[in-house]
């Protein structure tokens, strides 16, 4: 596949994920290509988070070491939250359904659901950053609910319950990382 077709594929995937298109998650096959595409979306989300932090760090004139450390923490926190959230969803899914898909099979739909986080750089907007962060978190939660509903073949209510059991864990982990970043600054 050429680079232009791959770029078109990623933007179509992101667009479908942003609009909570259930068909995207229904047809996401467990292949190396979809895993790469999903991880690329998570990586873009991580870089977007780092970009927002970078602007703030530059304005506060932080040291180069702190700048790099905080950016690295931002990237790693998004990637870690992706794997942890997928793992907790998989564990709960296996508890609820004996025929639940494998952990690896859940990585693509959950990765696609991270598409709203690509807009995380917008959190650097003065006075709106916190509100934007909440909107993106809720939007991502809704996308993950759709992904779980389709991937586990469960009702929307059950998918929401699974995701809401896991969501606080992810939000606490992100909050701890953000607090650590503020201590570093």
Closest CA to 112 of 80, 160, 145: 145
For residue 58, being part of any structural domain is answered with: yes
Which residues have a Cβ under 8 Å from the Cβ of 137 and sit 6 or more positions away?
Answer: 171
**Of 111 and 54, more confident:** 111
Q: How far apart (Å, rounded) are the C-alpha atoms in residues 128 and 112? A: 25
Q: How far is CA 139 from CA 15, 78, 136, 146, 163, in A?
A: 13, 15, 5, 11, 13
For residue 11, being part of any structural domain is answered with: no
Mean pLDDT of the 36-65 span: 87
For residue 88, being part of any structural domain is answered with: yes
- Position 14 scores a pLDDT of 93
What residue has token string 């290509």?
Answer: 33
Query: Which domain, by its residues, includes 64?
Result: 32-184
For residue 8, being part of any structural domain is answered with: no
- Position 2 scores a pLDDT of 38
- Position 159 scores a pLDDT of 92
Report the b/e string of 56-65 with b at 16+ CB within 10 A: ebeeeebeee
Mean pLDDT of the 39-47 span: 95
Residue 1 has pLDDT above 60, yes or no: no
For residue 12, being part of any structural domain is answered with: no
For residue 149, being part of any structural domain is answered with: yes
Task: Give the pLDDT band of residue 5 (cuts 50, 70, 90).
Answer: very low
- Position 181 scores a pLDDT of 64
- Position 44 scores a pLDDT of 96
Please tell me what DSSP assigns to residue 31.
S
For residue 73, being part of any structural domain is answered with: yes
Task: Give the pLDDT band of residue 65 (cuts 50, 70, 90).
Answer: confident
Number of structural domains (the chain) is 1
Q: How far apart (Å, rounded) are the C-alpha atoms in residues 71 and 53? A: 7
Mean pLDDT of the 18-36 span: 84
- Position 3 scores a pLDDT of 46
For residue 14, being part of any structural domain is answered with: no
């Amino acid at each position: 596949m050429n680079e232009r077709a791959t770029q078109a594929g990623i933007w179509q995937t992101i667009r479908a994920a942003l609009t909570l298109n259930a068909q995207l998650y229904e047809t996401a096959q467990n292949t190396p290509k979809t895993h790469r595409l999903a991880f690329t979306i998570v990586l873009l989300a991580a870089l977007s988070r780092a970009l927002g932090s970078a602007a703030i760090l530059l304005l506060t004139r932080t040291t180069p070491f702190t700048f790099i450390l905080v950016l690295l923490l931002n990237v790693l926190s998004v990637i870690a939250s992706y794997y942890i959230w997928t793992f907790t969803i998989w564990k709960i899914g296996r508890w609820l359904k004996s025929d639940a898909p494998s952990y690896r099979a859940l990585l693509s739909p959950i990765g696609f659901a991270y598409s709203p986080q690509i807009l995380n750089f917008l959190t650097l907007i003065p006075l709106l950053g916190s509100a934007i962060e909440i909107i993106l978190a809720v939007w991502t939660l809704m996308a993950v609910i759709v992904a779980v509903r389709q991937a586990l073949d469960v009702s929307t209510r059950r998918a929401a319950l699974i995701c809401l059991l896991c969501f606080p864990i992810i939000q606490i982990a992100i909050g701890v990382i953000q607090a650590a970043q503020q201590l570093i600054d």
